[in-house]
Amino acid sequence: MTEIDESTPPYLRIVAELRSRITTGELGPGDRVPSTRQIVRQWGVAMATASRALTALRQEDLVRAVPGVGMVVTGTEPAGRAEPVDVRRVPARGMTRDQVVRTATGIADAEGLPALSMRRIATELDVPTMSLYRYVRGKEQLLLLMADAAFAAHRLPRTFPPGWRAQLDLLCRLQWSIYRRHPWLAQVISLTRPVMAPHAVAHTEWALRALAGHGLDQHTQLHLAAALANHVRGTAVNLEREAEAEQDTGLTDDEWMVAQADTLGALLAAGEFPHLARLTRSTVDLNVESLFEFGLQRLLDGIAELLER
């Protein structure tokens, strides 16, 4: 048995604890073990780490997957412990499409899009997987509904602030707050194949209205609206990866940079990167927030220059 200490990878520490619960009888045959979502919350790890831990337990034949239930401890269930699972059961009365979308969004918020599947949603709702197709045609439509719900929960104000710049600034900051709340959303939104979600399309309409009446042709207006949206989304793509990295390593971005100080120092000591070396000795700070802010202001400056011509 591998000795567990602080140097042990996080997934192995999770495996060791769950293995102990099973071997000591705390978790008996047929009992549900924590789901990947529950592991993410309890141990503070990324979804990939949680999935790897459950995979290791399956490889040891300690747990097995039961359709409509989730992962349970293997073995013969003691009499009276649990009733047989009826995989033919129908969804509980009152289940709606909104409930399916909320459950899917909760999974994606906690664990990222890789954890999202129709089977996983069914497990969370305790219904047969095939029953979900009564509410959504498939994962593509589900993602569309999730995106629309995310934008709908953060509605644009009914009144416009004075001036095109204030209007576009407000729009981009609202979009940024939505991506911060739902980091997976940046993977769903596309500029070349727009998501036809009414509440997302409303953001494009807002941008075009702010740019209208200033002498810009339609080509320029649409490209400016897309450029602003792409800046917000493009910066937000980093959010999910950063969250996963922090969960896996237990280090914030600043702490990670401190840990890499010796490696970076050795790289710069050769003198091949003098400009970068000067920057590292200054107080310049670069992060996703500063990138969003700097890029947004420069884009708005560029639009102002266009309007002045």
Count of domains observed in the chain:
3
Choose one of 127, 152, 177: the last residue of a domain: 152
Q: How far apart are CA 121 and CA 37, in angstroms?
A: 11
Specify if 159 maps to a domain.
Answer: no
Q: Are 91 and 127 in contact (CB under 8 A)?
A: yes
Does 275 share its domain with 172? yes
Task: Label residues 90-119 b or e (16+ Cβ within 10 Å = b).
Answer: ebeeebeeeebbebbbebbbbbbbbbbebe
Q: Is the dihedral of CA 179, 190, 197, 120 positive or negative?
A: negative
- pTM for this predicted structure: 0.66
Q: What is the CATH number of the domain that holds 19?
A: 1.10.10.10
To which residue do tokens 């399309």 refer?
201
Q: Determine the pLDDT at residue 297.
A: 95
Domain of 231 in residue numbering reads as 164-308
Q: Is 190 inside any structural domain? A: yes
- pLDDT score recorded for residue 4: 60
Query: Could you say which residues of the chain have pLDDT below 50?
Result: 1, 77-92
Same domain, 272 and 189: yes
Backbone Cα Rg of the chain: 25
CA distances from 43 to 13, 59, 287 (A): 10, 21, 26
Looking at residue 217, its pLDDT comes to 92
- The CATH number given to whatever domain includes residue 225 is 1.10.357.10
Residue 201 vs residues 22, 153, 303: alpha-carbon distances, Å? 50, 14, 21
| Residues 162 and 210: beta-carbon distance below 8 Å | no
Let me know if residue 1 belongs to a domain: no
Please indicate, yes or no, if residue 79 is contained in any of the structural domains: no
The span from the CA of 41 to the CA of 96, in Å, is: 26
Q: Are 102 and 200 in a shared domain?
A: no
Three-state SS at 66: strand
The DSSP bridge partners found for residue 294 are none
pLDDT tens digits along 220-237: 999 999 999 999 999 999
3-state secondary structure of 56: helix
Rounded Cα distance between 278 and 221, Å, is: 40
pLDDT at 275: 73
User: How many angstroms separate the CA atoms of 100 and 199, rounded?
Assistant: 19
* Shared domain check, 303 and 171: yes
Query: Is 168 in the same domain as 147?
Result: no
CB 146 within 8 A of CB 107: no
**Position 188 in a domain:** yes
